[in-house]
Structure 1
């Protein structure tokens, strides 16, 4: 049986892309694909925008878009329809992390769009993304060097696939977790954010803060939560700061996720499904989440893989249901275990996309044969 030939073309490689690159590498190591990596320099005319990868799967041109939403790369006054349609002109198919049928319906090439699925920063040993390249900005080169140092808090080994994985367990006294970050509503520099994006950050901060305060009051020692210490959080949300900085370090945070049964998530920037959500699924947790704005592939739905809430008080109600109904909670954990191993694990999310791309290629071949006959 011949292997599938996959060529991935990389410019700058930010953290959002590690998940997908890891999947291609694993499939090569498993003997399923032949993999080639091309590097596109800074001035290369085919270099893609931020958080995107091009892959050629048996000649089918595939775009992977790992961005948080539809508008996070746009300049002031630019329309996402023109931006995406100009990209889609060059590809046969696009797998989008933040996939919205409503938004896609506005596109000329909506038929090319498919949901990619949940995304998080995960990697594998020897990932080509680990190594600094001439294409990386100077700041990112320094970060990559730091991530290669074993005693660094950001060491790549703390993001290996098995580091996140867990199995369902039935606890008599289920622990509840919600550790979050808050966003400076003014952005990182003057003029970075539009008024609507400032308001989105303000909403995210207030919503997360309200959920944490209510959970602390309602669940006492069964709940652990708070926000990372930053200048902004210390100024406006001092009561929620996690004082023990050790707890917020990567390895200790993931250990706490694994020891918890019920994990809470809220909307990310640009209405995205955050990395935290994917980490919960990888760890086989029961999840209470603010309503999701984007679709993912497979049979992943409310009441089966998560409970959705609209308000902080609704969040409390959903947690009570998960806390009190042991059978329901355990079944959700099993559902997320199965979903992770079919649609989220790096090799699986990429393999599912490759199958869809090949099906598209077969469809186009049949269509061409009909046109020629």
Structure 2
């Protein structure tokens, strides 16, 4: 007897950027007939990076927020809790926790009525704004605009040919320690932001000094950056999502820093999904599969060490190429939206059998 396809029900309370991987995987699997997917629309909306979903009537909580803190009330009301920023000690002591995996913003590479209706459910821009949303989402080949479609990832592209100079990329934003559009900043967060900014600025200056024209580095343009590091601001033409991903593809080594709350940032995930060699600040979170040093990345804990690790990869071509290959394999096995959602569904099935 053929197994019944899994049923997934999602109350559309949020359409947060951090959850686009999840939505893309759900809609892709539903399109191929591997799951039955239903969105519930008559619900109160918010913009949090977390959502409850039902998988064959099991309450599953997906938490893609930056913070490693566990949402205690949601933990009590779910059967399994998939967390993006998952600490080892929490995984060992809280039995419902599972790793969500590396997050980055990605959208379907196909025209999807389900995707379109999902976005329109959250559009409050009037008819003109809704029209723009329709055009953008139906433009699956990115001929009229740009969205990071999944087809742009998971295939290895060599950044340089024989005889061409190796390039290092580090485009990053600075965090204003005094204000934030979304929430009030605590004293601890203010200190954290100041520390992050100081390290990022010093790292960029050292990379420019060492690698000169082969350093694709700088900070994003905003009021705070203009005040503290105006000479390091990157032209906005290079930092649009389309141009940024083009720059990533042209680089041989990409640098990642931890995000707020010490989370693994979306840039790190994009580098892995594009099969890049990576130098990253240290992190210690639980991920599916094996992703470790020195096979998939090299770690640094100071601006000076960052430059040393980039030089190590530049001076060891075999190591760089092996890292590229290992990262693209990891991405294909664990990071495609379909694989990510399929793993969640399989873990739910396994949990119900125990």
TM-score normalized by the length of structure 1 = 0.84
Contact 1:343 1:349 survives alignment (8 Å): yes
Which residue does the alignment assign to 2:202? 210
For 1:180, the equivalent position in structure 2 comes to 172
Out of 158, 169, 178, the residue aligned to residue 158 of structure 2 is: 169
Shift of 1:165: 4.1
Which residue does 2:82 correspond to in 1? 95
Structure 1: where are the runs of 5+ without partners?
72-79, 364-373
1:195–1:224 Cα change, 3 Å:
same
Q: Which residue number corresponds to residue 188 of structure 2?
A: 196
Structure 1 residues 190-221: Cα deviation after superposition (integer angstroms, max 9, x where no partner): 97110001111111111111111111111112
Spell out, residue by residue over 1:324-353, the C-alpha distance to the aligned partner (whole angstroms, 9 max, x if none). 111111111111111111111111111112
Pair 1:11-2:2 in alignment: no
Aligned to 2:98: 114
Given the alignment of the two structures, is residue 264 of structure 1 paired with residue 255 of structure 2, yes or no?
yes
CA distances 1:49-68 after superposition (whole Å, capped 9, x unpaired): 81112222222221110100
1:131–1:144 Cα contact (<8 Å) kept: no
1:166-212 Cα distance to aligned partner (Å, 9 max, x none): 40537443221011111111122597110001111111111111111
SS state at 2:101 partner? coil
Please give the residue correspondences for 1:62-101 in structure 2 after superposition, counting only pairs within 5 Å: 62-71=60-69, 84-101=71-88
Cα distance in 1, alignment partners of residues 221 and 159 from structure 2: 33
Cα displacement (A) at 1:222? 1.7
Q: Residue 120 of structure 2 corresponds to which residue in structure 1?
A: 132
Decide whether the 8 Å contact of 2:16 with 2:47 is kept in 1.
no
The aligned residue for residue 236 of structure 2 is: 245
Is 1:52 the counterpart of 2:50? The answer is: yes
Q: Number of matched residues? A: 341
Q: 2:132 and 2:118 mapped to 1: Cα distance?
A: 10
Rate the CA distance shift 1:180–1:300 in 2: closer, same or farther, 3 A: same
Does the CA-based 8 Å contact 1:122-1:159 persist in structure 2? yes
Q: Taking structure 1 as reference, are residues 39 and 258 closer, same or farther at Cα in structure 2, changes over 3 Å only?
A: same
Alpha-carbon deviations, 1:268-307, whole Å to 9, x = none? Answer: 0111111111111111100000011422110111111111
CA RMSD of aligned residues (A): 2.7
Query: Secondary structure in 1 aligned to 2:261?
Result: helix
2: distance between equivalents of 1:291 and 1:325? 21
In 1: Cα distance, 2:224 partner to 2:131 partner: 28
Distance 1:177 1:62 in 2: 38
Give the SS at the match of 1:331: helix
User: Runs of 5+ in structure 2 lacking a partner?
Assistant: none
Counterpart-to-counterpart distance in 2, 1:145 and 1:338:
39
- 1:114-137 deviation line (CA, Å, top 9, x unaligned): 11100111111422575232xx48
User: TM-score, length-normalised on structure 2?
Assistant: 0.88
Q: Once the 2 structures are TM-superposed, how far is the Cα of residue 148 of structure 1 from its aligned partner?
A: 4.7
For 1:150 and 1:26, the matched residues in 2 are separated by 18
**Following the alignment from structure 1 to structure 2, what is the Cα–Cα distance between the partners of residues 14 and 61?**
20
3-state SS, counterpart of residue 111 of structure 1: coil
For residue 158 of structure 1, report the CA deviation from its aligned partner. Answer: 2.1
CA contact (8 A) 1:169 1:330 kept: no
Do the aligned partners of 1:187 and 1:193 also contact (CA within 8 Å) in 2? Answer: yes
Q: CA deviation at 1:355?
A: 1.3
Deviation at 1:238, TM superposition (A): 1.0
Q: Is the 8 A contact 2:116 2:134 kept in 1?
A: no
- Kindly provide the CA deviation profile for residues 84-120 of structure 1, in whole angstroms up to 9, marking residues without a partner as x: 2211111100100011122456x7xx10001110011
Q: What SS does structure 2 have at the residue aligned with 1:159?
A: coil
